[in-house]
Amino acid sequence: MPRVLLIAPQWIGDAVMAQPLVALLAARGEQVTALGLPSVAAVLRAMPGVAEVIEAPFAHGKLDWRLRSQIAAQLRGQGFARAYILGNNLKARLVPWLARIPQRVGYVGEAGGLLLTQRIRPSGHGVGQAEPMALSPVSCRLPKAPPRRADIRDHYAALAQQPGEAVASGRPEPTLAVAREQARAVGARFGLPERWVALCPGAEYGPAKQWPSAHFAALAARAQRAGYAVAVLGTPRDAATGQAIAAQTPGVRNLCGVTQLDEAVALLADCSGAVSNDSGLMHIAAALGRPTVGVYGSTDPRHTPPAAHHSAVLWLQLECSPCFARTCPLGHLHCLWQIQPEAVWEQLQQLLGPPQEASAGQA
């Protein structure tokens, strides 16, 4: 069984969307070791097909030559036949090169694919498998719409294709797995009952991806009336938003900044359903097979859709969207304000349906 090294993306959502590549590699008998930042390690450990996870605490924006050299020295001689490099910059290629891994596969990206032995050029614009639900458009203009971006799941999965090999059909959906007993134990430890809904109001990229807290609060009240407890999950940066939601809807648990990522993964595996902005937590919940509604503003669900196990997306698809901006260039954020809580609840309710005995995320 050949050993291969996966250089994981630095963002949680991107790491989740790389899991189909892992599944394809594992299916053909490759033993995958994943190298990633501590911030994505919990996701990598929940990935079917990943045999080992190596945490690499590289500093953002820095070369970290000494640390990369140390990690490469530890990997050298361990029999890695190939490395799959999901970052497009030179730094992402350094460890496999320094470790003398003979085959290094990645996209051309920075410096024309320097340090790669198999250079792949992006295939251009693609079409995602999950189509968004379009709501009523409103007039809203930007000087020029950005180009359509390819489905990033296909982008990563294409690295599995070997030279001369026919393009495989039926790319798998991103999948994560947490044991049912473990998930329920973590939920109980945080005082959550068996029927509860997770709200994920954060988005590291910026406020143009964040559905208003007032809408989350109204959705929480609707879920409570239907008999569900509600908890808000997120990072310490989301704590104020979580508190604002809890203040507007008594009984909501604000767990933003309280959990580590591995605990958040387990909680999402335990929840009855989740509503989230286009964020890492949305991708985790959907990959775990939980009923998940993704609310999209400045980004494009055809580019970064949630795993299609049991998910739906809401996107207004305005003339100015997707703009991929961190903050609304027009100052009004119509793309999110005009997605009403009742529309989101309707989608979530359809996904929740009757109680289910099993899911993709529970073993």
Predicted pLDDT of residue 221: 98
Domain boundaries defined on the chain: 3-121, 180-352
Burial of 330 (0-12, 13-18, 19+ CB in 10 A): middle
Residue 133's pLDDT is 37
Measuring CA to CA, how many Å separate 269 from each of 24, 197, 219? 23, 11, 20
Q: What is the pLDDT of residue 166?
A: 60
Residues whose CB is less than 8 angstroms from the CB of residue 132 and which lie 6 or more positions away in sequence, other chains included: 296, 301, 302, 313, 314, 315, 317
pLDDT, tens digit only, all 363 positions of the chain: 899 999 999 999 999 999 999 999 999 999 999 999 999 999 999 999 999 999 999 998 899 999 999 999 999 999 999 999 999 899 999 999 999 999 999 999 988 899 999 999 887 533 323 233 334 333 344 444 455 678 999 999 999 988 766 656 679 999 999 999 999 999 999 999 999 999 999 877 667 778 999 999 999 999 999 999 999 999 999 999 999 999 999 999 999 999 999 999 999 999 999 999 999 999 999 999 999 999 998 778 888 999 999 999 999 888 888 877 878 777 778 888 899 999 999 999 999 986 544 445 665
CA 71, chain centre distance (Å): 26
CATH 1.10.1660.10 fits 3-121, yes or no: no
- Asked if residue 203 lies in contact with residue 209, where contact means CB atoms within 8 angstroms, the answer is yes
Give CATH for domain 180-352: 3.40.50.2000
Q: Do domains 3-121 and 180-352 have the same CATH topology?
A: yes
C-alpha Rg value of the chain to the nearest Å: 20
